[in-house]
Structure 1
Amino acid sequence: MNIEALQTKYPIIDWEVYTEDSRMYWKIIRVGNHTEVYQVFKDMLKTFDRDDLVKLCSLVQERFNSTEPTKDKEIKIWVELKRLFEPDANEELWKF
């Protein structure tokens, strides 16, 4: 068995909100069209390393610099990533 092949890291190149039946998911698209689908943000974080998180954040920021998030999943990912990367010094939580 080729252990290196099992450890190959496919960088994130895009994301989208994906709907199946009546449920919405985040679809993470990696190099080579490898995709992952998540319904819960916390579950997505469990499979990400820091590089994934930084890349996703930059892709989300890039998209919403020119448009406004309209779907609940778009708003959720925008808010959660802003919370992770841009803590608000005026919030009580960040004063401690």
Structure 2
Amino acid sequence: MKDFKGMTYDEIMPIFEKQGDFNQAFLAKDSEEIHKEEVEVEKVKEDVVVEQDVEKEPIKEYQLLGRMEAKDMEVYKLTRADGSSSYHGDLQAFFRRLDRQDMHDLYRLVQERFQTTTLEGHDLILWGDLKMIFEPDEGDEVWRNQQDWKLMKWKLHENCGVHSLLMWGTPMEINMLVEKEYPLIKDILEKMLRLQLEAEEESTMALELIKFIKSQIEE
């Protein structure tokens, strides 16, 4: 109304008629033409996703740089095939920033180093943590002492498909792939369900994980 203030009827009507003609032309499009435009939009979206996937380079090297005294943690440097690099403070930092393929690449690199070098310190710890994720051994002392676990938090890292059990009073954590069955006793499985799984809202992966845990209890 502010734009039309001071204008006469004869001045206003052509503006309305022009806009009306535009609206009618849009509404006159048949459903096939509209569907064609929608398909083109979706194709552009898919092309963008594919392009992003193609641009992603695999991890080619990992290095333990040393301790960051200010935060009391070891710092790892990951370098990709294109030369880009990123820095991570601990395993949970890996989970927050890497995807499933990245985790496989990292485990392969650590395995290769383990075969040619005597690992020690945090390199050895990292190898043990990754081995527990990808090749769990039910004879390992960690799994045999489940009755001592005091669960504090159950967390899902959807980007890499890993879920973590954090404990009270200890830095120990149990990290597992969402689709893989681990040697968890029934008591721990039930305690996991009583915890509130931390995940993104309306997460399909979280629902599937909970269903998977329930199926293990029922076996």
TM-score, structure 2 as length reference: 0.38
How has the CA–CA distance of structure 1 residues 78 and 20 changed in structure 2, closer, same or farther, with 3 Å as cutoff?
closer
Choose from 26, 30, 39 the match for 2:80.
30
Aligned length: 92
Question: Is 1:76 matched up with 2:125?
Answer: yes
Q: Is the 8 A contact 1:24 1:39 kept in 2?
A: yes
What is the distance in 1 between the residues matched to 2:82 and 2:67? 22
3-state SS of the aligned residue for 2:82? helix
Who is 1:85 aligned against? 134
Q: In the alignment, is the contact (CA less than 8 A) between 2:68 and 2:75 conserved in 1?
A: no
Q: Is the 8 A contact 1:18 1:24 kept in 2?
A: yes
Equivalent position to 2:58, from 2, 7, 11: 11
What's the offset of the Cα at 1:21? 6.1
* 21 and 38 in structure 1: CA distance in 2 versus 1, 3 angstrom threshold: closer
The unaligned stretches of length 5 or more in structure 1 are none
Contact 2:74 2:90 in 1 (8 A): no
CA distance in 2, matches of 1:16, 1:83: 20
Percentage of matched positions with identical amino acids: 26
* Separation in 2, partners of 1:33, 1:40: 22
- Give the root-mean-square deviation of aligned CA atoms: 2.2
Q: 2:90 aligns with which of 19, 23, 40?
A: 40
Q: TM-score, normalised by structure 1?
A: 0.80
Measured in 1, the distance between the counterparts of 2:118 and 2:60 equals 20
**CA distances 1:49-81 after superposition (whole Å, capped 9, x unpaired):** 1111111111110110122112x3212211110
8 Å CA contact 1:26–1:73 kept in 2: the answer is no
Q: Is the 8 A contact 2:76 2:89 kept in 1?
A: yes
Secondary structure of residue in 2 paired with 1:32: coil
Distance in 2, Cα, partners of 1:81 & 1:21: 22
Structure number with higher relative contact order (C-alpha < 8 Å, ≥ 6 residues apart): 1
Report the secondary structure of 1:33's partner residue. Answer: coil
Q: Which has the larger radius of gyration?
A: 2
